[in-house]
Amino acid sequence: MSKTDMTFIHAPSVYDFRKKPIFYGPVSDVIPSSPVFEMYPVGFMTISSHLEAAGFKTRIANIAVQMLDSERFDVEKKIASLDADVFGIDLHWMPHAHGAIELAKIVKKYHPESKVEFGGLTSSYFHEELIRRPEIDMVMRGDTTEIPTVMMMEALQKGGDLSEVPNLTWKDDSGKIHINEFKFSMDSLDDVIFDYGTMIKCTMRNGDIKGALPWAGWDKVPLTSVFTVRGCSINCAECGGSHDANGRVVCRKAPAYRSPQRLADDMEMIQSYFNTPIFIVGDLRQKGMSYAEEFLDECRKRRIRNHVVVELFNGATPEYFQKLDKSFEGGWSIEFSPDSHDERVRFALGKGYTNENIEKTIQNSFRNGCSRFDLFYMNGLPHQDRESAMDSVRASKRLWGLVNREDRLFIYNAPFAPFVDPGSRVFEEPEKWGYRLRARTLEDHRRLLDSPSWKHVLSYETDCMTRDDIAEVSYDAALLLANMEYEAGRIDSKTLNDRCERTEFARDLMHRVDEIMMIQDSAEREARLWETKDEGTRMMNSTVCNKKDLDWDTGSIWSNAPRIGLTLAKGLLKR
């Protein structure tokens, strides 16, 4: 296998999940990836693009996807076959606290002379704890680390001084720890190289299509994305990406935006390669309506024909939806996360819009061309008791009643799981928000992840609900939501029965695991847990929701092969 300068490795949440009896529950029912959290961060692509532009060779190895794909996939053999000066492992989201470190140990086992570098939001928060581990040589802090990573690679390969690399925490040859000044943070995202073409070309060069997939099944139901911003102007209490958390974790005083022109360029670039839906991450109105309008004008000029998914951070007017409808020839959909229909809970989180605003937003979207509208609620929020959580589900009946039966309004309900985000206001001041945290350090979270049931992984309880309460209300809410959806005429009786049976089976499995955990004899307890392994694996996806509802109608990535080939050829001719 050809050598690379830097290989990016993405780990499963828990290593090795295939050899552990784990019941994941509904922790990933409302995201594209499975409970293994096999989706790697977009930073893999942007950092790779910067390194390639600087003359370095890179590759992406999504170990988690390959482990999901085959029980026979040999992780150690795969890692041993990789050859790189630096292995970059993302610990961006806290659920990877177990798997990322275990893969780092394997890398060091087979490549003791190579450097192991960690990066991401979680890595930034826990950099001092991480750097003390023998298998980790460097931690890059920050949310715009593309240029510092190039500087790091140049220092390593040209004999430079790592102490000159901003944001880097590192160990020298004697094992002494150095924490460089955190001084690099982009004020604008216009200098970030965002190019799916780099990923395609690296994948072709390395001959490892499966290893480069963003998540399992992406090749069959692909979804691409563009990013309006890093950082956030909003301060949701539970969010590790909030304004307050960004200031604490990555020293970001203000959001860094990509200009409307560059953002539209990104979408045009994606369209040249793929006929896939494009998810615009971040509310376009966050920098002001003039930013959104300028971007939409640019999209009209470029004739964006891919379907576009737009995110809302609060309600929207008919005029805004009309502008969206005029801008995207391939249609558009909405993602909106009020989190709770209880205004008291929602206001406490920092989301200051009313239920009336939510209702008008849904109605106005469909009246002005929206293809589908996804609405998300959660259980386990500040000041939320059982009745408050169930009231969010009961509100779905009214919401479905506000629109036509053929309008594709999807309402989801899932637990706030598995962890409270480090750096969020809830994590930093749990008592203020009515939380009791069971994990504070990275190692605390690692231990929780190695639990046999999702309920035991939960890192918190609230003054309104225990872990048992949060788990039970999540299943109760799922049953009620399915019945509401049936009464609204949106699913048939077979779908209703299938979802209810699956939900009750999942609840029963959780109770069985609870009973097994009470067994004092460790050997008997382990044996009984293994008896649940197959059932737990079967319940990995769509535990309480129909996860296929999250898919947008599109062809497989392979149907885009002629388009990809033509675009790559045009790029070569331009040279």
Regarding whether 262 and 386 lie in a shared domain, the answer is yes
Residue where one domain finishes, among candidates 461, 490, 519? 490
Regarding whether 52 and 147 lie in a shared domain, the answer is yes
Q: Which of 26, 225, 201, 229 is nearest to 144 (CA)?
A: 229
Give whole-number Cα distances, 540 to 36, 148, 547, in Å: 9, 38, 11
Give domain status of residue 519, yes or no.
no
Q: Which parts of 425-466 fold into alpha helices (H)?
A: 425-428, 442-449, 454-457
Regarding whether 255 and 192 lie in a shared domain, the answer is no
> What's phi and psi for 177, nearest 5 deg?
-90, 135
Q: How many Å is the maximal CA-CA distance in the chain?
A: 70
Regarding whether 145 and 28 lie in a shared domain, the answer is yes
pLDDT in tens, 267-300: 999 999 888 999 999 999 999 999 999 999 999 9
Give domain status of residue 116, yes or no.
yes
Regarding whether 145 and 9 lie in a shared domain, the answer is yes
Taking the C-alpha atoms of residue 299 and residue 209, their distance in angstroms, rounded to an integer, is: 31
Mean pLDDT, rounded, of the chain? 92
565, pLDDT greater than 80: no
CATH no. for residue 90?
3.40.50.2300
The most confident of the ranges 166-180, 216-230, 492-506 is: 166-180
Output the six-digit token pair for 110.
């087979």
Instruction: Please name the amino acid found at residue 413.
Output: N
3-state helix/strand/coil string of 141-168 = CCCCCHHHHHHHHHHHHHCCCHHHCCCE
Residue 201: its pLDDT value, please?
Answer: 77
Percent of the chain with pLDDT over 90: 79
Q: How would residue 572 be classed by pLDDT, with cut points 50, 70 and 90?
A: low
Give domain status of residue 457, yes or no.
no
- Owner of token pair 């737990």: 536
CATH no. for residue 310?
3.20.20.70
- Owner of token pair 């200051």: 352
In this prediction, residues 63-76 reach a mean pLDDT of 94
Task: For the chain, report the end-to-end CA distance as a whole number of angstroms.
Answer: 28
Taking the C-alpha atoms of residue 493 and residue 505, their distance in angstroms, rounded to an integer, is: 18
Residue 519: its pLDDT value, please?
Answer: 95
Taking the C-alpha atoms of residue 64 and residue 40, their distance in angstroms, rounded to an integer, is: 9
Question: E strands, 56-104, where?
Answer: 58-62, 84-90
* More confident position, 537 or 223: 223
Residue where one domain finishes, among candidates 463, 490, 517? 490
Give domain status of residue 462, yes or no.
no
Q: Which of 551, 473, 546 is nearest to 223 (CA)?
A: 551
In this prediction, residues 318-323 reach a mean pLDDT of 98
Regarding whether 173 and 90 lie in a shared domain, the answer is yes
Give whole-number Cα distances, 433 to 52, 89, 345, 417, in Å: 45, 33, 11, 16
pLDDT in tens, 97-154: 999 999 999 999 999 999 999 999 999 999 999 999 999 999 999 999 999 999 999 9
Q: How would residue 495 be classed by pLDDT, with cut points 50, 70 and 90?
A: very high
Q: 418: cis peptide before it, omega within 30°?
A: yes
Which pTM was predicted?
0.92
Regarding whether 227 and 179 lie in a shared domain, the answer is no
Q: Report helix, strand or coil for 177.
A: strand
Give domain status of residue 545, yes or no.
no
Q: How would residue 556 be classed by pLDDT, with cut points 50, 70 and 90?
A: low
Q: Which of 374, 372, 376, 373 is nearest to 349 (CA)?
A: 376
Instruction: Please name the amino acid found at residue 61.
Output: A
Residue 112 CB neighbour total at 10 angstroms: 8
Regarding whether 391 and 263 lie in a shared domain, the answer is yes
Regarding whether 235 and 190 lie in a shared domain, the answer is no
Give domain status of residue 374, yes or no.
yes
Beta bridge partners of 10: 62
Regarding whether 353 and 299 lie in a shared domain, the answer is yes
- According to DSSP, the β-strands at 138-140 and 168-171 are antiparallel
Give domain status of residue 370, yes or no.
yes
Regarding whether 174 and 69 lie in a shared domain, the answer is yes
Residue 114 CB neighbour total at 10 angstroms: 18
Q: Report helix, strand or coil for 171.
A: strand
Residue where one domain finishes, among candidates 464, 490, 516? 490
* More confident position, 328 or 30: 328
Give whole-number Cα distances, 290 to 260, 280, 297, in Å: 10, 17, 10
Q: Report helix, strand or coil for 429.
A: coil
Torsion of CA 264, 267, 272, 274, to 10 degrees: -170
Output the six-digit token pair for 61.
């190895």
Output the six-digit token pair for 258.
């990509």
Give domain status of residue 442, yes or no.
no
pLDDT in tens, 415-464: 998 999 999 999 999 999 999 999 999 999 999 999 999 999 999 999 99
Taking the C-alpha atoms of residue 177 and residue 130, their distance in angstroms, rounded to an integer, is: 11
Total count of domains within the chain: 2
What residue numbers bound the domain in which 253 lies? 223-415+476-490
3-state helix/strand/coil string of 193-211 = CCCHHHHHHHHHHHCCHHH
On whether the CB atoms of residues 406 and 368 are closer than 8 A, the answer is no
Regarding whether 340 and 410 lie in a shared domain, the answer is yes
Instruction: Please name the amino acid found at residue 145.
Output: T
On whether the CB atoms of residues 97 and 449 are closer than 8 A, the answer is yes
